[in-house]
Structure 1
Amino acid sequence: MSLRSVPLFLRPLAVAAVIVTVVSLLSSLLSRQIPPSPQLSARSFLVWLHGLGDSGPANEPIRTFFSSPEFNRTEWSFPSAPLAPVTCNNGAVMHSWFDIYEIPVTAVSPNDENSVLEAVKTVHAIIDKEVAAGTPTKNIFICGFSQGGALTLATVLLYPKTLGGGAVFSGWVPFNSSIIASISPGAKKTPMLWFHGMVDEVVLFDAGKAAPSFLEQAGIQCEFKPQAYPSLGHSITKEELQYLEPWIRTQLKSQ
């Protein structure tokens, strides 16, 4: 039926019907020819905890090692520890997450567990704020060096839910085995990665080596990698960070 054969008062309706048909056909063709845009990777969050006497901003260049597309939507947090007197440094005031009684730290060094637990509350508040902003807990990673590594372990074990992972560099276990009873089933599922130089003179290798057995006792799996760094002292190497980056990517992809 041609448009001329349609009564005059019905012609607007006929034109509209034609337009709808054409638009529908075009939409169908375009949907077949243009592939759907890839979904953005989920937002992730990475907290880096510095060592004794250091600061958060001084560690920000670490993020340059995380250039893969998976980190395009990663938010970073480099908090600074409060200023406090530190026993092992003759009471000198410096950035410190908790008190340390002696240096070098050994597998049997005494721990100030009360100040450790106070520091844990600080990091948990950072995590909770990010969760409230919409980031899933399994997309949140806690990493730290030396004193910050010890706090990383404490933070992960005492958080009530499963996190994306925790990475400890040259850290130690900052509390005794009695804390195991406080570890939630969710926390026990958080993957752990541990680096420790075998010639570390500040946090002795034996202090780091005690961690896997402690974690095993708590029912937590930990990838312990000291054998790859036999000549490493108390520092972080680019090789460690280059290993951490794909490790985190693997945890993100496994969800």
Structure 2
Amino acid sequence: MRQACWGGEHAAALLESGATVVLTDIDDSKLAATRASLSLNADPERIVVELMDVSRLDSIQAVAKNLANTGRRVDVLVNNAAIDPRVQGDLGVLETSRLENFPLDQWESQLAVGLTGAFLCSQVFGTAMARDGVGGVILNIASDLSVFAPDQRLYRKKGLAYDMQPVKPVTYSVIKAGLAGLTRYLATYWADLGVRANTLSPGGVFNGQGEEFVQRLNSLIPLGRMAKRDEYRAALQFLCSDASSYLNGQNIVIDGGRSVW
């Protein structure tokens, strides 16, 4: 599983709520590092790690079988995997492929992880939640770009020709909008069997981006700043708990008000 970098924050939120968390990734060294970091503030016995590739059904099924064999039932599924082109420093987004020549292999690989992976995990773990009659929660992590288009002006660099300007690639918007659609489908599909599904769509999180980019983005946000790393923990705890027992099929956008301007 190629996780977006906020997977550790989501795990920390659930650990704070007393849950046992299962971390998955395709990189065992990243899993070990994340587990070690989380163990500083939580009982390591409540942190399980499993190698898993979300783009492969057999890999997901193997993890589900491992968990079942150890008596662990998955009550909450957080679909967070992504290959995410990010803004770093003043270099702009790492993925600079424009729509005119966006490579098909990147389209396919990014959708395989970010969207197909969420479908496959929901298929495997959601089916199990529904089958035993206990139910559960599926939470898809999208983005505020699930409800509006990227403002490509945020990524522009002086001195570059138009056709060389960095952009947020098409895959990002398609995946995030697709996750919101997947949520609505899942929310009605197993509702009578106690499985709820919602989407959490965060806005931009400050993570060392360049000053020019941050200033541009801050000017689009009514609160005047990007989110802090841990500002989504309470929302995730709410969405994954019985406190949101009557919330189903919704896309909760938390972006400092950007989407209402």
TM bucket (normalised to shorter chain) is 0.3 to 0.5
TM superposition score normalised by structure 1 = 0.42
Higher relative contact order (CA closer than 8 Å, sequence separation 6+)? 2
- Which of the pair has more CA radius of gyration? 1
TM superposition score normalised by structure 2 = 0.41
